[in-house]
Amino acid sequence: MLTIKNLVHVYGNGTRALDDVSLSVPNGMFGLLGPNGAGKSTLMRSIATLQTPTSGSIDFDGIDVIKDPEKLRRT
């Protein structure tokens, strides 16, 4: 299960791409839809450990994605 709590990402220029995003995604296949500029790519980059969010937490099957990205990458 993927659990995201209070995720915030603010870029250096002040753009707030994610604003307190929280969700739980059970095992299975899911899509992420939204208009341009909604933060979809920022969210996916954060989950994939390609960028570190400003605040919040991401947990994937017991792995703290932000604190231990290498463990997630080995998975």
Q: How many of the other CB atoms lie within 10 Å of CB of 65?
A: 22
Residues contacting 61, CB < 8 A, separation 6+: 1, 2, 75
Tell me the pTM.
Answer: 0.89
* Cα–Cα distance list, 26 to 11, 13, 16, 62 (Å): 29, 34, 27, 13
Provide the pLDDT for residue 10.
96
Which pLDDT tens digit goes with each residue over 56-65? 999 999 999 9
Checking if the pLDDT of 68 tops 90, the result is yes
**Structural domains in the chain plus CATH codes:** 2-74 (3.40.50.300)
pLDDT digits (tens, 9 = 90+) for 3-51: 999 999 999 999 999 999 999 999 998 999 999 999 999 999 999 999 9
Flag whether pLDDT at 75 surpasses 90: no
